[in-house]
Chains A and B, each alone.
Chain A
């Protein structure tokens, strides 16, 4: 991490008049509104800190609650059972093709749960690490990103349930499942954008933490978790689905279903493109807003 300090070792006159052109002798100039020229390189340099913060959060979580791992499994499982019952039995919503309804729900549940938990943990992450922010320098983006990574680990754990469900129903996925990692990445990016925006807002406006559970609650019902996007198409037609796809989680969840359920489940490409666009826009917006505000985090946290 050593900056190339010995680079310019011209026999600099010790103290010249201010503003004299010996600026080159210094490795870095700190000033107001300085745009970080090496922002991404700096982020890469701090990868070890990033890894250790993520590790800390996982270690602490699984240490504190003996049932930590069990909870990560139990929560999505129970939600899936309830959803299957409510949507499949009570509301009588149809499944997709040959896939059992429980697997349909769970394939939607997985990315949704990930999205919800990464949103709530990343939005609290900076405030929760206020002490670090005000006492040490590092690229601030490390903190919310590592919170999303931690949520990602719970997410991978709950894949075990999916595997168990498949065994139980003797359901065999086809080769499309090999494309699942691409959709995991998409889910990651889809969570990161809104996560960054909410994190930055939460530093400045602390009452934002009251808004987040609401977003998560509301989002669950407007995302195709308990039903498939087919239901929307049958009711509202093509345009309906396109509009519906503005919700970035639609593309993610449909992608998950497409990869996991195989068979007849088809992916609706224009919809996927719309979702991809929203994800990209939110991500760019998130990074922009975060970078714009991160310089003042230490002053207001």
Chain B
């Protein structure tokens, strides 16, 4: 008999994003009072309000969750996956009653405990012992419950020696271990965990995953957000794949992970990106039209790391602009920037290039070449942006296209296999017995090309 412990019906959550004023407050008291005081007069005079107050009234609304329906059975371990901003944390916050839904409803059966952050409420001035009680109470344990599990918690965390030290003196590792140990001893019927395992060292993470597996095998229901697909595959029986506030997929783990992978990779174009309705990039001065990565020599294979590539950037200038400077970023698969390259007019020997002068509105093209034997056998993303007047920043795109080099495991001399590193440049190497003749000769031999290159 399957027993539903969570039922979500047509759930939606709307946030109002107040216009942030420069002081960083969402809503100014002064503005609220001013609006309230002038409102009756505006009604009298038929005035629709000052420009500023109308702007304030035009709050942006944003649906962080839309039309979500699902059910969770007792004892299920559900992996909640999806890209950043998909609405995973918002869903968990509603489930744990921190915030309420805008529409729809959720039925819950049994005691719910949630762990949205490790060490919520830990106070740096208090000792480890005091924080165990404090954090336990915050997570919903009674004092008696914490007391009876105290020794277990301490043993699990491995910080026995520092129990009476204020946690501000703890290393961050110790802090996380203690915090997680408290949470690991919660015994609710439904456990809700946001992406908290991202912190802590890998050994401790393993321990925590083990603990979670125990929790699950006790027949408790677990909802667990993670970006770590290995952990999801190992722990979960079901998945909920969220995308832009909607539920994209609900079902078994393997299918869920596959759907997640497809979603993540379909997000960006490969090799070529072009603008179109709903995918414009730019501002009112410059608009990006297309970006293509192609081999310099059309006969060569673009997916081979030894091929020289060119990045062709087509764009439209919409106003008279001076010093238009395109640039690009190469990023790795996690979005970390590997390098930035700029078409800086002043950095080039020929000073009278057209970019130095004023550009009339029209279509332009810039080309950047990436040498062969430079990138590695992996996936990269490209972001493109523009400056004007030398250093005035206009915009930079998100990662608009990806390029991927096949793992051909091309031999380089004796070595075949995966090459470590973000990039794989081919550099000159010379090795010889250390004597003066060879060293002075080194540069010359490299230039002539008879040094070994690897």
Contact = CB atoms under 8 A, between A and B. Distances in A.
Interface string A22-61: 0101111111111000000000000011001100100110
A34 B100 contact: yes
Contacts of B99: 295-296, 298-299
Contacts of A29: 105-108
Contacts of B3: 12, 14
Given A132-B121, A137-B97, A15 B71 contact: yes
Contacts of A3: 110-111
15 contacts: A3-B111, A30-B101, A30-B106, A34-B100, A48-B142, A52-B143, A60-B125, A63-B125, A132-B121, A135-B116, A136-B98, A136-B140, A138-B138, A205-B27, A299-B15
A135 B98 contact: yes
A27 B107 CA distance: 7
Contacts of B211: none
A239 interface: no
A131 B120 contact: yes
Interface centre among B30, B94, B99, B143 (most CB of A within 10 A): B99
Given A131-B120, A211-B29, 12 more contacts: A25-B107, A27-B108, A27-B110, A30-B101, A30-B107, A33-B100, A48-B137, A52-B134, A133-B98, A137-B98, A205-B27, A295-B99
A11 B3 CA distance: 9
Interface string A6-25: 00000110110011000101
Contacts of A131: 117, 120-121
Given A12-B3, A136-B138, A206 B120 contact: no
Contact of A52 (B10, B97, B137): B137
User: Contact residue range for chain A?
Assistant: 35 or more
B100 A295 contact: yes
B101 A32 contact: yes
B7 interface: yes
A134 B9 CA distance: 23
Contacts of A64: 125
A1 interface: yes
Contact of A30 (B108, B114, B189): B108
Contact of A11 (B1, B10, B71, B120): B1
Nearest to B71: A15
Interface centre among B1, B93, B140 (most CB of A within 10 A): B140
A125 B215 CA distance: 35
Interface centre among B9, B25, B138 (most CB of A within 10 A): B138
Interface centre among B95, B107, B110 (most CB of A within 10 A): B107
Interface of A: 1-3, 5, 11-12, 14-15, 18-19, 23, 25-34, 48-49, 52-53, 56, 59-60, 63-64, 131-138, 201, 204-208, 211, 295-296, 298-300
Contacts of B109: 5, 25-27
A49 B99 CA distance: 19
Contacts of B29: 201, 205-208, 211
A60 B69 CA distance: 45
A23 B107 contact: yes
Given A15-B71, A56-B134, A32 B97 contact: no
A136 B71 CA distance: 23
Nearest to B106: A30
Contact of A207 (B25, B97, B106, B123): B25
Contacts of A33: 100
A49 B106 contact: no
B314 interface: no
B104 interface: yes
Given A14-B4, A207-B25, A30 B97 contact: yes
A145 to B, nearest CB: 15
Contacts of A23: 107
Contacts of B102: 32
B62 to A, nearest CB: 11
A30 to B, nearest CB: 4
Nearest to B90: A299
Contacts of A207: 25, 28-30
A296 B18 CA distance: 14
A27 B99 CA distance: 18
A30 B15 CA distance: 17
B25 A26 contact: no
A228 to B, nearest CB: 36
Nearest to B143: A48
Nearest to B166: A63
A220 B155 CA distance: 53
A20 to B, nearest CB: 11
Closest 3 CB pairs of A and B: A26-B107, A205-B29, A31-B105
Contacts of B93: 134, 298
Contacts of A28: 107-108
Contact of B100 (A1, A30, A48): A30
Interface centre among B100, B114, B143 (most CB of A within 10 A): B100
B98 A134 contact: yes
Contact of B32 (A52, A138, A205): A205
Nearest to A132: B121
B329 interface: no
B202 interface: no
Given A1-B140, A136-B120, A298-B93, A32 B100 contact: yes
B190 to A, nearest CB: 10
A15 B8 CA distance: 12
